[in-house]
Amino acid sequence: MKYLIVMVAVVVLAGCGSVRKVETGTNKVGERFSMQLEGPWNHVDFPGIKPGQLWTMEGITVDELIIYAGIKDGQVMHPDNAAQTKKQNVVFRRDMPTEKIVSMFESVMTRDDSVFKLLRIEPSSFAGRKGFLFEFERIRRNDNLRQLGFGYGAVDDGELFALVYVAPALTFFPRHQARVEAIAHSALISPPVGAAAPVAILPPPVRVSIGMPGQRLPAVSTAARAVAIPEPK
């Protein structure tokens, strides 16, 4: 009986989500967003994560890199079950200034009643465009875990491109911070189909890290730690 229950659970869960390996090298997300990886990641797909794409090194309960590749005007960020709860959804607008975009991410990350504290927000080049970066601390509601995170974003041709990384403040954030920074620095937004290339591609950002005081950031390793997951068939 127990075996049967486990089998049924596996079949049901398999229908809910999937995991695949993201290979080292150039990766394209969506039609216009690409980035260089110096090691493999795990791409996890499950209901509720759209319109973002979720990558993880250690597993989704540990660290999350959410990639937003061309969120369009009026698009809902991680739609809630609004019909039942009548909650207002968080919607991206093309004319949103930086502070409202970051407020939108704040709302997404506190939807489960986690506590979010903004540590820094400032202009930064991102993916060759004028953009912004923000850093934050979060206490996750369901397990009281203290996390650190940061995000980069830019709006191009009315579409939002962003990366948001969050991981436990102890061990995991410092372990992967430099790797995610490298991904953010390598990100590139290509022009929309039929449009001319941008006049100037801005250099990648250089910034002081929010790593723990006195902590040395680990070097980016090409032998990235990916969770052992069977190759997709």
* Distance separating alpha carbons of residues 150 and 15, to the nearest angstrom: 31
How many CA atoms does the CB half-sphere of 36 hold within 13 Å?
8
Q: Count residues near another protein (CB under 8 A).
A: 30
Categorise residue 144: left if φ over 0, alpha if ψ from -120 to 50, beta otherwise: left
* Whole-number Å distance between alpha carbons of 211 and 220: 15
Identity of the residue, 59 or 123, whose beta carbon is nearer to another protein in the bound complex: 123
By beta-carbon proximity to another protein, the closer residue of 42 and 98 is 98
The verdict on 202 binding another protein (CB under 8 A) reads no
Instruction: Give the x-and-dash track for 4-43 against another protein (CB under 8 A).
Output: ----------------------------------------
Q: Which residues contact 80 (CB under 8 A, 6 or more apart)?
A: 87, 89, 111
* Segment contacting another protein by CB under 8 A, of 86-94, 195-203, 213-221, 222-230: 86-94
Token pair recorded at residue 69: 């590749």
Separation of CA 178 from chain center: 15
Q: Which of 79, 123, 127, 129 is nearest to 101 (CA)?
A: 123
d(CA 36, CA 57): 16
Among 24, 103, 186, 190, binds another protein (CB under 8 A): 103
Cis peptide leading into residue 230 (ω within 30°): no
Nearer to another protein, 113 or 231 (CB): 113
Find the part of the chain contacting another protein (CB under 8 A) among 15-23, 104-112, 160-168, 210-218: 104-112
Span near another protein by CB under 8 A; candidates 6-14, 55-63, 90-98, 160-168: 90-98
Answer for which of 54, 66, 69, 90 binds another protein (CB under 8 A) is 90
Q: Does 106 bind another protein (CB under 8 A)?
A: yes
Contacts of another protein in 123-162 (CB under 8 A): 123, 132, 139, 141, 144, 146
> Pattern 166-195, binding to another protein, x per CB under 8 A?
------------------------------
Kindly report the number of other CB atoms within 10 A of residue 51's CB atom.
19
| Cα first-last separation, the chain | 29
Binding residues (CB under 8 A) for another protein: these are: 84-88, 90, 93, 97-100, 103-104, 106-107, 110, 113, 115-116, 118-123, 132, 139, 141, 144, 146
